[in-house]
A and B are shown apart, each in its own frame.
Chain A
Amino acid sequence: MKLKKNIALSDTGFVFDPSNGNSFSTNPIGLEIIQLLKQNKTQSEIETKILSTYEVDKNTFEKDYYDFVNMLGKLKLNAADEKD
């Protein structure tokens, strides 16, 4: 998944979408994943990073990752909703 290019992200987990004024708060792990997505990391790269940092098994990560990414899409934060 690719995030919109202009998404603003703060260290506190505050996410701002300047194209529509929406803002959200995320927890530290959500923040870390969004930061990795902003760096255009693939799912596999993100998985490697998270599994090596936290005590979590692959299946749980995948389930939560899909849930999270699906939610980012619903919140229109993915690049698919971005006009060229």
Chain B
Amino acid sequence: MKKISVAVTGLNAIDSPGPGISVIRAIRQSNLFDVRIIGLAYESLEPGIYMHDLVDKTYQVPLPSAGMEVLLSRLSYINSVDKIDVIIPNFDAELFNYIKLADILKQQLQISTFLPTLQQFEARHKVNLYEYGEEHGIKVPKSKAIFNSQEIVRLHSEFTYPLVVKGKFYDAVIAYSADQATGAFNKIAAKWGLPIIIQQFVQGQEVNVTALGDGKGNLIGAVPMRKQYITDKGKAWSGISIDDEELINITRRLMASSKWKGGLELEIVKTDEEEYYLLEINPRFPAWVYLAVGCGQNHPEALVRMALGEDIKPFNTYDVGKLFIRYAYDMIVDLKEFEKISTLGEL
């Protein structure tokens, strides 16, 4: 087996989990690689830092708001003491920096990534999704970006209530009145900044697809899932893989037309009239990506192989009716470990 070292972010396996732990489990399951996992953490209480059976070593990294140069400097240091072959970033908010740094990482540090282009990343942004759907022939509920809560009172000429108030990176609230929309606007804007996206609410069943594109227009793999148990943050606590050919077709069309490079998650609503509306494209693997592994498609392993320059044959099948059921688990951690990551920035 080939020895490689993969750095992964998103170790926050909390109630609104980052995808890191699922991605790590998937890569660890590889029969092709003998993997050393380097965790990249933002906060000292991210559970993955202390999961030593999954993460060999963790380094704290600067928040995305610190900028590219600071990140590059930190990654250069980490790479000098702990060689990294591939980095898989798993947060929307950090992707801009990693995409901008991808060429430098490859040329200066010989670190591979497998990320969408900046143009692909920006085009699918919530703010642009309506136009994106039109361009790629996929229905998207009417959406509008607003910068001021006073714009909400004028929305009734374009939208009908209920509507969805969304943050530019995270959070979404269904509002049934202008008052509720204003409350949601203020709350989400305070947390994630502006703009806020207003989207027409579509009634139906929410389904999600985790997928991987090769950047040449090919769909390498896709597994659709229906959430079965949803937390109060709207996150899937359990879900089941489903057999829905149209979801695969939509994903394949999107990959062909956008030439998406890397992992992504599609959030789609299927109405009672069997219409499919794209709600969001998350530009990285979802936290439930390990379900794809359980269904026979190891997307993170395939991504690592492509990042290392291998050609991959697309997955053609997956198991239907496989469930994932998330669980909470209390780890006991020695204060020394917490102290080490908090003061030295590595563990």
Contact = CB atoms under 8 A, between A and B. Distances in A.
Contact of A18 (B228, B242, B270): B242
Nearest to B239: A21
Contacts of A8: 321
Interface in B220-274: 225-226, 228, 239-246, 270, 274
A18 B243 CA distance: 5
Contacts of B243: 6, 18-19
A18 B320 CA distance: 7
Interface string A19-51: 111000000000000000000000000000000
A83 B274 CA distance: 9
A83 B246 contact: yes
**Residue with the greatest number of chain B CB neighbours at <10 A, chosen from A6, A19, A21, A83:** A21
At the interface, is chain A mostly helix, strand, loop or mixed? Answer: loop
Contacts of A6: 243
Interface string A39-80: 000000000000000000000000000000000000000000
B205 interface: yes
A20 B243 CA distance: 7
B228 A21 contact: yes
Contacts of B270: 20
Contacts of B274: 81, 83
Interface in A1-22: 6, 8, 16, 18-21
11 contacts: A6-B243, A16-B321, A19-B242, A19-B243, A20-B207, A20-B242, A20-B270, A21-B225, A21-B226, A21-B241, A21-B321
Question: 3 tightest CB-CB pairs across the interface, nearest first?
Answer: A21-B226, A18-B243, A21-B240
Interface of A: 6, 8, 16, 18-21, 81, 83
